[in-house]
């Protein structure tokens, strides 16, 4: 299975290079990589609260800032030579909490649709989709961590964390449009739900093939 993702490595590397001046500036202020990691978590919590209030566009704006922190913490760790096993572990754990708060905010908002209109099942259906998106997001991370524990480098898949953030930001900004905005947001979460779970399956198949190849070599 080819190592394919929706966002090409060139796009990701280009974004990292664009953030380099900001990274150097923040490093000069004495900020640590872990401080940026926690700042990203705080911004994700704020994003969740804004989603809960139904202001999708502004949630997208704050999510951009959270995403920048997510990129800068690792970049700053390399710049300041503060890369550590615990730092990588903390970053991964905080990423999961960040996504949890974001999807909880969305679930809170859409669960209110059923309360406002008991005859409509839309709110309940959307909450189910959000749960599937959250589960898929966690499974993408889990399969990679489990694979690496087995000695397999597993970064394949369509909907990795950068893709999820980019899609969520784009959907949130477009959700500011009148009339259709709410449905754009629902569609965005649906795509994340489908493709994140598909990515988890991609990784399971990839790891199986890699481990089968190792067994044959032995």
pLDDT confidence of residue 1: 45
- How do residues 9-43 score in pLDDT, each as one tens digit? 777 778 778 888 888 888 888 888 888 999 999 99
| Superfamily of chain region 9-212 | CDP-alcohol phosphotransferase transmembrane (TM) domain (1.20.120.1760)
pLDDT confidence of residue 18: 83
Domain boundaries, the chain: 9-212
pLDDT confidence of residue 195: 95
Question: Which residues does the chain have with pLDDT short of 50?
Answer: 1-2
What is the pTM assigned to this prediction? Answer: 0.85
Q: Which residues of 16-38 are buried (b: 16+ CB within 10 A; e: fewer)?
A: eeebeeebeebbeeebbbbebbe
pLDDT confidence of residue 85: 81
């Amino acid at each position: 299975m080819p190592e394919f993702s929706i966002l090409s490595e060139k796009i990701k590397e280009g974004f990292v290079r664009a953030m380099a001046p900001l990274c150097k500036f923040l490093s000069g202020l004495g900020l640590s990589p872990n401080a940026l990691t926690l700042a990203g978590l705080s911004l994700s919590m704020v994003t969740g609260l804004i989603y809960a209030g139904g202001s999708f566009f502004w949630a997208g704006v704050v999510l951009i800032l959270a995403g920048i922190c997510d990129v800068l913490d690792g970049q700053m760790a390399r710049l300041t030579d503060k890369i550590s096993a615990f730092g990588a572990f903390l970053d991964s754990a905080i990423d999961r909490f960040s996504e949890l708060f974001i999807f909880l905010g969305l679930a809170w908002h859409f669960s209110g649709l059923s309360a406002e209109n008991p005859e409509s099942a839309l709110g309940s259906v959307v909450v189910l989709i959000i749960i599937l998106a959250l589960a898929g997001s966690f499974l993408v991370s889990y399969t990679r961590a489990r694979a690496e524990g087995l000695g397999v480098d597993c970064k394949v898949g369509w909907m990795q964390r950068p893709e999820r953030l980019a899609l969520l930001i784009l959907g949130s900004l477009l959700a500011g449009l009148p009339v259709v905005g709410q449905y754009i947001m629902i569609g965005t979460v649906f795509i994340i739900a489908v493709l994140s779970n598909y990515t988890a399956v991609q990784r399971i198949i990839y790891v199986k093939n890699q481990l089968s190849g190792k067994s044959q070599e032995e």
